[in-house]
Amino acid sequence: MTDKALACASRWGFTYTEQLESGHCSDVYADETRVLKVPFQGEEMTSGYVAARRLSNGLGPTVIEGDPESGIVLMERILPGTTLGSAGLADEEAQTLVTTFIQNLRGLRTEGCMPLAQYIEQPDALLDRLTATTIEAVFLHGDLHHANILRNGAGWTVIDPKGLVGDGHYEPIAFLRNPCGWLETVPDLLSLTRRRLLKFAKDLDLDPWRIAAWGVLDSKPGPDTDSESVWGRLPAVYQQLEEELRP
């Protein structure tokens, strides 16, 4: 734990008994009832902190204490904490749950959130087009996938928001590329993604082309991307869907 995190933990009377599985940007420590999230890079140190505060209204864990300079937050521990990805729900049932969360997140305040174009951070004519034609910039969780939705008693709670603001058509993208382990077993990723994407468009009254276009931007492979992985297969899937759905 960093010196800053140790100081916060001491000030807030928190002593951890275990370290939970961490994400790409944060370390997570817990006792029986509380969780200390310690971000170490990226937007989770800034807009993610703002978003955690904003979700502390019933959508996310209650924030008990927080340090806005570092983004460190002490929150209630969500129990039993089973992830949506391991809860055994059918894919359509999981998608319906995520759709409800997207609808509820839309109305949150956006001040202090990171602009979506800044988060994407890649010069691209398609990004410019989408940004210029965004009718309404809304609050975005930014990473609303199966590992960031936890069973909370009989209900569900959202964790680890990135805290973005921009085109609402981006919000379904994280779900569409998850759960990775299951998607690896799907032989026809194009058909599955098309079905899921069109369901989001219908249920959320969104333009399916704009979802596909954000998928193109989100799935651009890096130099070390395995072509057989989900990340390696998604670019071609989204390119085809963007062409199919283009107005």
**Domains in the chain: boundaries:** 3-77, 81-245
Pick the CATH number of 3-77 from 3.30.200.20, 3.30.230.10, 2.60.120.460, 3.30.565.10: 3.30.200.20
pLDDT of residue 241: 98
Give pTM, 2 decimals: 0.95
Reported as a single tens digit per residue, the pLDDT across 82-130 is 999 999 999 999 999 999 999 999 999 999 999 999 999 888 999 999 9
Tokens of 224: 């070390």
Question: pLDDT per residue over 189-238, tens digit each?
Answer: 999 999 999 999 999 999 999 999 999 999 987 777 888 888 899 999 99
- At 245 the pLDDT is 97
Whether the Cβ atoms of residue 174 and residue 94 lie closer than 8 Å to each other: no
Q: Residue 215 has what pLDDT?
A: 97
Is 35 within 8 Å of 14 (Cβ atoms)? no
CATH classification code of 81-245: 3.90.1200.10
pLDDT number for residue 223: 77
**Cβ contact 215:235 at 8 Å:** no
CA distances from 176 to 94, 127, 146, 191, 219 (A): 11, 19, 10, 12, 11
Per-residue exposure over 217-232, b if at least 16 CB sit within 10 Å of its own CB, e if not = bbbeeeeebeeeebbe
What is the signed CA dihedral for 17, 22, 27, 30, rounded to 10 degrees? Answer: -20
3-state secondary structure 181-241: HHHCCCCCHHHHHHHHHHHHHHHHCCCHHHHHHHHHHHCCCCCCCCCCCHHHHHHHHHHHH
pLDDT at residue 22 tops 80? no
So what's the pLDDT on residue 229?
A: 87
In 3D, which of 58, 55, 52 has the Cα closest to residue 28? 52
Q: What is the pLDDT of residue 44?
A: 85
The pLDDT score that the predictor gives to residue 146 is 96
